[in-house]
Amino acid sequence: MNLALLLLLAPFLGFLFNIFFGKNIGKTASGIIGTGTVVLSFALSIFFFLQINQSHQAISIQLFDWIQISNFKVDFGFLLDQLSILWLLFVTGIGSLIHLYSISYMHDDENMHKFFAYLNLFIFFMIALVIGSNLVVLFIGWEGVGLCSYLLIGFWHKNQDFNDAAKKAFIMNRIGDLGLLIGMFILGSLFSTLDYATLKTAIAGATDLNIYWISAAAFALFIGACGKSAQIPLYTWLPDAMAGPTPVSALIHAATMVTAGIFMITRLNFLFDLAPDVQNIIAIVGSITALVAATIALVQTDIKKVLAYSTVSQLGLMFLALGLGAYEVAVFHVITHAFFKACLFLGSGSVIHALHGEQDMRNMGGLKKVMGITFITFLISSLAISGIPPFSGFFSKDEILLVAFEHNKVLWFIASLASLMTAFYMFRLLYLTFFKEFRGTAEQKSHLHESPSLITFPLIVLAILATIGGLISLPTNSWLNAYLAPLFTKTATEAHHFGTTEYALMAVAVIGGIVGIAIAYAKYIKQNQLPAEDAAISGFAKVLYNKYYVDEIYDYLFVKSTNSLSRFFRDQVETTLSSLVFGLGKVTNEIAFQGKKLQSGSIGFYLFAFVLGLCAIVTYLFLAQ
């Protein structure tokens, strides 16, 4: 129990230390302390993982009774089971690597201690989110990571665009959080508890479940997951969130925070299993998100934007798997995605670092020669995300496609199309960045250099993980499925019967990936094309380049209408109200002014009034009856 508390609080202590003393102890020291606390958490996670892997027993820790209202009870407690430990492992593991990376990456920033403080706070909230034993603790973490995301996106707060991006992320998340809250309310009123274990037994034991309310709760929770995990229609914040420093993008907006929605749905799988309609919605939303985001990524020129849309697309695939009830597949893809997407982001960070902040791919190229390590790790990750065997992405994506094929051919087709596009835009990115000649300014060219070892070390580790990550769930012998089996009510983990269909699908997926790579090769290496300048983009590409104008549509639908409503209230309603109020004041004033004349000081008049009043009172008292 104490160790679990330490696991949770270590990053928080790091946060407190960095925020109060970070400025005085120097940048490197503050970075080392920030990293150290996360590494400590990682070590403890490994400890718990080994313990659980051996005992197969979930560790439940209850700290104290938190809220108790009649029969509704919320404890403050932790639940360390297979799922949360798995999440802990890659949150703290990748978190440690990215902290390490940030020591070098952020070294030029004057507010580095603040950066590490926020990162530590984020890790703390993420751990709380993952290991909470009920939805309320999860909600604390959920809000906390949202806050940290806001702080870190707007970390360079001197740029107003970045602040706007941070606000956008926060507001979009709020919309989702409302859904999560409503879901929690419904569950709380239905079952008088928000504890996972109690909920599970309550749902399993209930005989007369109101399926509509269950579906409503599941749908509301899904809205929450949509906000956090950037699904249609709440995905627009994630690409904008790239305004933050690159390590933040890698940690929060690729590997960890955005998977919180998937974590929550997996956690409550017993609930979602009861609501097949909601599952269908999740699958459809996920597949559409995967496709839409992939198409947008095809034409983006900002290196981080491409990766951001790629993340949205991959998250869409995960939601597709969740919607089809294949939770373990989604979890598998979360893990492999965390490896290669973190690696890609960190690699792009390394490139941006080398080019002193340049993010436009049209001004890159030819970096293969000077940035060897970055290039190789980037290549491995790109192969992984494109689904080329034997890299990890192949296994996880293939499983998703397989599940999709079993359930619905249309969903399978959409997902396959999305992964073909993935292969294309990833290699487009790769070719434009690392091949051919350098297209930037001469001054940038003179500064080109391979990043220091603090940056390349995490890249190498992540590239290795991206390569071998698939081993945890091989198609025929899945360690992960067996490990996660106790969590799921459905026995979805039966070993796939591997026949010709499966092999054929696998082949199709691989061929799709290779075709995507080939198209990119043909276009950007053979024909030596470059993405057009902003003004020259036309036709459908322009729609894609402008992200289907979704931001503009949202702006028009919600922002403008809210603004005009506010303006209406300000100009019309408020003036009416205030004139009413002021009018009342004037009337009172006038009455008082006129009434003052009555008080003339003439005793005769007073007496006269007195007599009349006496008459009135006597009449009322004795004669009015």
Partner 1 sequence: MSTILIIFCVLAAITLSTAFLTIFSRNPIHSALYLVICFFSIAGHYLLLNSQFLAIMHLIVYSGAIMILFLFTIMLMNLNKENEVHKPRITRLGAIVSFCLICIVLILVFINSKPIIGEYVHTGEDYQSIKVLGHVLLNEYMVPFEFASILLLVAMIGAVLLSKKEKTGK
Partner 2 sequence: MNNILNEIGIENYIFLSTILFCIGIFGVLYRRNAIIVFMSIEIMLNAVNLLFVAFSTYHQDAQGQIFVFFSMAVAAAEVAVGLAILVSIFRNLGSIDINNLKNLKG
DSSP 195: B
**Which is closer to partner 2, CB of 499 or CB of 595?**
595
**By CB under 8 A, residue 596 contacts partner 2:** yes
User: Among candidates 498, 441, 446, 440, which has minimal Cα distance to 474?
Assistant: 498
User: 500 is in the binding site of which of partner 1, partner 2, none (Cβ under 5 to 8 A by kind)?
Assistant: none
Which span sits near partner 1 by CB under 8 A: 255-263, 363-371, 579-587, 610-618? Answer: 610-618
613 binds partner 1 (CB under 8 A): no
Residue 594 as a binder of partner 2 (CB under 8 A): the answer is no
On the CB side of 582, CA atoms within 13 Å amount to: 6
Place of tokens 């698939």: 470
619 binding partner 2? (CB under 8 A): no
**What's the closest the beta carbon of residue 620 comes to partner 2, in angstroms?**
18
Residues 6+ apart with CB under 8 A from 162: 153, 154, 155, 156, 243, 244
Residue 615 binding target from partner 2, partner 1, none, CB below 5 to 8 Å by type: partner 1
In the chain, % helix, strand, coil (3-state, to 5) comes to 80, 5, 20
DSSP secondary structure letters along 526-565: IS---PPPGGG--HHHHHHHTGGGHHHHHIIIIIIHHHHH
Residue closer to partner 1 (CB basis): 591 or 614: 614
Q: Nearest CA to 468 among 555, 381, 407, 372?
A: 381
Q: Give the three-state DSSP class for 79.
A: strand
For position 71 contacting partner 2 by CB under 8 A, the verdict is no
Contact with partner 1 (CB under 8 A): which of 71, 539, 593, 622? 622
138/125 Cα distance (integer angstroms): 9
**Binding to partner 1 by residue 43, rule CB under 8 A?**
no
- Is 606 a binding residue for partner 1 by CB under 8 A? The answer is no
User: Binding string, 210-239, against partner 2, x = CB under 8 A?
Assistant: ------------------------------
- Cα angle 470, 471, 476 (rounded to 5 degrees) comes to 100
Contact letters for partner 1, residues 549-588 (x by CB under 8 A):
----------------------------------------
Helix (H, G, I), strand (E, B) or coil at 64: strand
Q: Structure tokens of 515? A: 């075709």
Per-residue HEC secondary structure of 227-255 comes to HHCCCCCCCCHHHHHHHCCHHHHHHHHHH
Binding partner of residue 575 among partner 1, partner 2, none, CB cut-off 5 to 8 Å per kind: none
Of 211 and 607, the one with the shorter C-beta distance to partner 2 is 607
Other CB atoms closer than 10 Å to residue 615's CB: what's the count? 10
Interaction between residue 611 and partner 2 (CB under 8 A): yes
Sorted by sequence, the CB contacts under 8 Å of residue 184 that are 6+ apart come out as 135, 136, 139, 194, 221
- Give the Cα-Cα-Cα angle 15, 453, 25 (nearest 5 degrees): 35
State yes or no: residue 599 binds partner 2 (CB under 8 A): yes
* Of 318, 283, 331, residue with least CA distance to 481: 331
Residue nearer to partner 2 on the CB measure, 603 or 624 = 603
Q: How far is the CB of 586 from partner 2 (least distance, A)?
A: 21
Q: Is 614 in the site for partner 1 (CB under 8 A)?
A: yes
Integer CA distances (angstroms), 322 to 151, 316, 334, 497, in order? 30, 10, 11, 21
Give how far the C-alpha of residue 387 lies from the chain's centroid of Cα atoms, to the nearest Å: 23
Q: Give 105's contacts (C-beta < 8 A, 6+ positions apart).
A: 245, 246, 247, 349, 353, 455
Q: How many residues bind partner 1 (CB under 8 A)?
A: 10
Which of 604, 621, 622, 625 touches partner 2 by CB under 8 A?
604
Candidates 499, 539, 595, 604: give the one binding partner 1 (CB under 8 A): 604
**Smallest separation, CB 607 to partner 2 (Å):** 6
Q: With CB under 8 A as the contact rule, which of the stretches 151-159, 433-441, 482-490, 604-612 interacts with partner 1?
A: 604-612
Q: Is 2 helix (H, G, I), strand (E, B) or coil?
A: helix
How far is it, in rounded angstroms, from Cα 359 to Cα 468?
A: 30
600 lies in the site for partner 2, by CB under 8 A:
yes
Interacting residues of 454 by C-beta distance below 8 A, sequence separation 6+ = 100, 101, 103, 104
Nearer residue to partner 1 within complex by CB, 500 or 625:
625
601 binds partner 2 per the rule CB under 8 A? yes
Q: Which does 599 bind (CB under 5 to 8 A by kind): partner 1, partner 2, none?
A: partner 2
620 binds partner 1 (CB under 8 A): no
Q: Does 619 bind partner 1 (CB under 8 A)?
A: yes
Query: Does residue 615 belong to the site contacting partner 1 (CB under 8 A)?
Result: yes
Determine which residue in the list 606, 616, 617, 618 makes contact with partner 2, applying CB under 8 A: 606
Nearer to partner 2, 64 or 593 (CB): 593
Q: Is residue 620 involved in binding partner 2 (CB under 8 A)? A: no
Do 123 and 15 contact (CB within 8 A), yes or no? no
Closer residue to partner 1 (CB): 498 or 608: 608
Count of positions on this chain that bind partner 2 (CB under 8 A) = 11
Which of 384, 389, 305, 320 shows the shortest CA–CA distance to 352?
A: 305
Give 479 or 610: the residue with its C-beta nearer to partner 2. Answer: 610
Give the shortest CB-599-to-partner 1 separation in angstroms: 18
Of 507 and 591, the one with the shorter C-beta distance to partner 2 is 591
- How far apart, in whole angstroms, are the C-alpha atoms of residue 492 and residue 176? 29
601 binds, among partner 1, partner 2, none (CB under 5 to 8 A by kind): partner 2
What is each CA distance from 439 to 184, 348, 444, in whole angstroms? 53, 17, 10
618 binds, among partner 1, partner 2, none (CB under 5 to 8 A by kind): partner 1
Contact region with partner 1 (CB under 8 A), list: 37-45, 180-188, 437-445, 605-613: 605-613
Binding site for partner 1 (CB under 8 A): 604, 608, 611-612, 614-615, 618-619, 622-623
Binding site for partner 2 (CB under 8 A): 596, 599-604, 606-608, 611
